[in-house]
Structure 1
Amino acid sequence: MEAKTKVWLTEDGKPIIGGGKVELLKTIDEEKSLRKACMKMDISYKHAWNVLNKISERLGKDVVTTVRGGKSQGTFLTDEGRRLIKEYEMNRKFINNTMEDEGSWEKLGLAISARNKIPAKVVSVEKEGLVAKVKLEIDPSALTSIITSEAVERLGIEEGDSVFAIIKSTEVLIGKVQKQE
Structure 2
Amino acid sequence: MERTQVKAKLWLADNKDEPIMGDGKAALLKAIEEEGSLNKACKKVKISYKHAWLMLKEIEESVGEPIIIKKRGGKAQGTSLTEKAISLLDTYNTYQNILAQTVYDNTFWEVIGLKISARNQMRGKIIEVKKEGLIASIKISIEPTTITAVITKEAADALDIKKDDKAVAIVKATEVMIGKE
* TM-score normalized by the length of structure 1: 0.56
Count the aligned residue pairs: 116
Q: Which residue of 6, 9, 20 corresponds with 2:9?
A: 6
Q: Which residue of 21, 24, 46 corresponds with 2:50?
A: 46
User: Runs of 4 or more off by more than 2 Å in structure 1?
Assistant: 39-42, 100-110
Pairwise mapping of residues 21-170 of structure 1 onto structure 2 (< 5 A)? Answer: 21-109=25-113
Shift in Å, 1:3 = 0.8
* TM-score normalized by the length of structure 2: 0.56
Structure 2 CA distance, aligned partners of 1:41 and 1:52? 14
Paired AA for residue 75 in structure 2: K
Structure 2 CA distance, aligned partners of 1:103 and 1:16? 31
The structure richer in strand per residue is 1
Q: Residue 67 and residue 16 in structure 1: after superposition, are their counterparts in 2 closer, same or farther (change >3 A)?
A: same
The share of aligned pairs that are identical, in percent, is 43
Structure 2 CA distance, aligned partners of 1:19 and 1:109? 29
What RMSD over aligned residues (CA atoms) do the two structures have, in Å? 2.5
Structure 1 CA distance, aligned partners of 2:13 and 2:92? 11
Q: Residue 66 and residue 94 in structure 1: after superposition, are their counterparts in 2 closer, same or farther (change >3 A)?
A: same
| 1:144-164 Cα shifts (integer Å, max 9, x gaps) | xxxxxxxxxxxxxxxxxxxxx
Structure 2 CA distance, aligned partners of 1:22 and 1:90? 12
Gaps of 5+ in 1: 111-132, 136-140, 142-181
Larger radius of gyration: 2
Check conservation: 1:64, 1:75, Cα contact below 8 A.
yes
Shift in Å, 1:103 = 4.5
Gaps of 5+ in 2: 115-157, 161-166, 168-181
Shift in Å, 1:71 = 1.5
| 1:80-131 Cα shifts (integer Å, max 9, x gaps) | 1111111001111112212144444444548xxxxxxxxxxxxxxxxxxxxx
Check conservation: 1:33, 1:76, Cα contact below 8 A.
yes
Q: Which has the higher contact order (CA 8 A, sep 6+)?
A: 1
Structure 1 CA distance, aligned partners of 2:35 and 2:104? 33
